[in-house]
Amino acid sequence: MATATEARLEEIWGEEPGPASWFTTGDHKRIGKRYIVTALIFFFLGGVEAALMRWQLAQPGATHLTPEQYDELFSMHGTTMIFLFITPLFTGLANYLVPLMVGTRDMAFPRLNAFSYWIFLGAGIFLYAGFAVGAAPNGGWFAYPPMTGPIFSPGINMDIWSLGLIFLSISTTVGAINLIVTILKLRAPGMTLARMPLYVWAMFVTAWMMVLAMPPLTYANVLLQLDRNLGTHFFDRAYGGDPLLWQHLFWLFGHPDVYIIFLPAVGIVSTVIPTFARRPIVGYPYVALATVLTGIIAFGVWVHHMFATGLPTLGLTFFAAASMIITIPSGVQVFAWLATIIRGRRPVFSTPFLFAVGFIVVFVIGGVTGVMFASVPFDQGVTDSYFIVAHFHYVLFGGAVFPLFAGLHYWFPKITGRTYSETLGKWSFWLIFVGFNVTFFPMHVMGLMGMPRRVYTYSPDLGVDGLNLLSSIGAAVVFGGIVLVAINAIKSLVSGERAGADPWGAATLEWATTSPPPHYGFGSIPVVTGRDPLWEQPELGSDLTLTDGREILGTTVTDAEPEEALPMPEASVLPLLTALGFAAVFVSLLLGSVPAALLSTLVTLAFIGAWTWDLGGVPG
């Protein structure tokens, strides 16, 4: 393609760097980076909370923290890691990668995309404002009533929590819808569903799960707010309510959420392993199908979080069976990865590959304890002990953070245009891998010895002093490893070597454009003929340049036949203003001011009106 085309595209899509475009941009790459950085800041905060808890638990009977502080720390640690770190981070990564991987120029709705970031940021600040006013959420990340109801949690701590999560769910839902429409309508010509990269498959299923799982959480939180502030009786046994209703609604969200966290990680591993094993993934259709099946079965296992609540045995048996069945698609994926490594050429032991392999090891351990928990009698014996803390850190830290680090290292050259230091990368992997196991493996034993979760200290008589100290030392090592990742990133940003378009020799479309990609993504829309376009097609370009205006290519849903050129909206400040309007609504609700809530709702509606007016007929 001639440079004249590229100059023309830059004229259409380019943005002035600087604060003005900072507040108005709809560029998926800028928004994606912003999501990633913000989520990493929350990861750091959640990590500090964990470090404080391990400091407290390093010795029996320590008094570094009061019980009240400890409650706030474990509540905010869980809430941060689940809602403000891993989910938004994966959303941000998908924001950056999915449009490039499917060969288009932006997300389907760039303004909604900006809006969902601002809402995420606002909700994160809202949840953390609790620390500033001395009333951080303290009812645990699953907030069971009646403990979190009006009688036992009279402060605003849990109002901040439940309103904050309702606020955040706007971002999650809108972001997920944006991803689904992008994947359905904007894939490059020739990229049929059967040729979609596995990462895109994983994000497609994840986004669907978000759309279907957020409403139960939102509804549960609305009911909790009504019980707390308007005198309803949803969770109040004395008036015909039932605290178990909360548990059902919460876990109807909560278990799918485990897979909302896990599936993007699986998508990353299925992308990284073939690149370094130097061959296409073994069993592509089975891995794609396993992703979809996991997404479906995940909605039928929530009661395994409630085995110890006295539900009828027949019901428990059903959920135990479903919980065991869900290991089958996970097993299919694990064997596909192993087969890819074995059947490939001698793998390149780069940092992303190490993290991907480290993930397989720890995830299998977490999976094994998961199957143990699927068995009702075992669950009833060890639930709410440190055994469960060990289990879910193996599947969440091991199952999601390891692949996340694989992905962050893998795409670092693409996003920043610079290569990172492999030496530092490998050091950080080994620190995190060893530190992780030293931190969390002893927790299995502590749990079996009877140490309960969520208690701010323990007695020396329990015999878990040494294990706790070991665990705290491990936590310090993990922390060191993560700091090393940060040092590597900053150092490489400043002085790393320039990365070429495709430093790994990878197969997917994001490597077809420069590193970092131009504002318009691709000079011409690629036309693909297979699953691994960069390995199969030496010449990817086409004459589809769309230089008439700010346009992207719409294609058909299953076969990705070119359909029409879709006009895209210009940058705008309205998404930010609308998000601020929502923030005002939630702050008013927290303060219990009806006039302020009504006023800010009207203002928000006015912004939404202006937004749709401004678009005319352009999707946005």
Partner 1 sequence: MSVARVEPRGARAPGWWGMALFIVAELTLFGTALASYLFLRFEAPTWPPPGVEQPDIVLGAIATVLLVGSSIPMLLAERGIERGSLMRMRICIAISIVMALGFLAIQGYEYSAASFSWRTDAYGSLFFTILSLHALHVIGAVLIVAWLEVRSLAGHFNREHHAAVQAGALYWHFVDIVWLAIFLVLYISPRF
Instruction: Give contact residues for partner 1 (rule: CB under 8 A).
Output: 108-109, 112, 173, 176-178, 180-181, 184-185, 189, 211-212, 214-216, 218-219, 222-223, 226-227, 230-234, 236, 239-242, 245, 248-249, 252, 527, 542-544, 546, 548, 553-554, 562-567, 605, 609, 612-613, 616-617, 619
- β-pair partners for 554: 564
Considering the complex, state which of residue 135 and residue 244 has its C-beta at the smaller distance from partner 1: 244
- In order, the DSSP letters of 66-89 are -HHHHHHHHHHHHHIIIIIIIHHH
Closest approach, Cβ 113 to partner 1, in A, equals: 12
- In order, the DSSP letters of 241-276 are --HHHHHHHHHHHHHHHHHHHHHHHHHHHHHHHHHH
Considering the complex, state which of residue 108 and residue 322 has its C-beta at the smaller distance from partner 1: 108
Are residues 167 and 119 in contact, defined by beta-carbon separation less than 8 angstroms? Answer: yes
Give the span between the Cα atoms of 352 and 357, in whole angstroms. Answer: 9
Considering the complex, state which of residue 184 and residue 401 has its C-beta at the smaller distance from partner 1: 184
Give the CA distances from residue 421 to residues 182, 350, 357, 617, in Å, rounded to whole numbers and listed in that order.
34, 10, 19, 48
Closest approach, Cβ 291 to partner 1, in A, equals: 19
Give the CA distances from residue 494 to residues 96, 418, 445, 526, in Å, rounded to whole numbers and listed in that order.
21, 9, 44, 32
Considering the complex, state which of residue 240 and residue 595 has its C-beta at the smaller distance from partner 1: 240
Give the span between the Cα atoms of 447 and 454, in whole angstroms. Answer: 12
Considering the complex, state which of residue 223 and residue 288 has its C-beta at the smaller distance from partner 1: 223
CA atoms lying within 13 Å on the CB side of residue 11: 10
Give the span between the Cα atoms of 254 and 299, in whole angstroms. Answer: 9
Largest distance between two CA atoms of the chain: 77
Closest approach, Cβ 139 to partner 1, in A, equals: 20
Give the span between the Cα atoms of 357 and 74, in whole angstroms. Answer: 30
Residue 140 — left, alpha, or beta (φ > 0 → left; ψ -120 to 50 → alpha)? left
Are residues 447 and 385 in contact, defined by beta-carbon separation less than 8 angstroms? Answer: yes
Closest approach, Cβ 97 to partner 1, in A, equals: 19
Residue 317 tokens read as 């048996």
Which residue carries 């996970």 as its tokens?
330
Closest approach, Cβ 474 to partner 1, in A, equals: 40
Closest approach, Cβ 169 to partner 1, in A, equals: 9
Closest approach, Cβ 574 to partner 1, in A, equals: 15
Closest approach, Cβ 318 to partner 1, in A, equals: 17
Which residue carries 């085309």 as its tokens?
5
Considering the complex, state which of residue 152 and residue 239 has its C-beta at the smaller distance from partner 1: 239
Closest approach, Cβ 28 to partner 1, in A, equals: 14
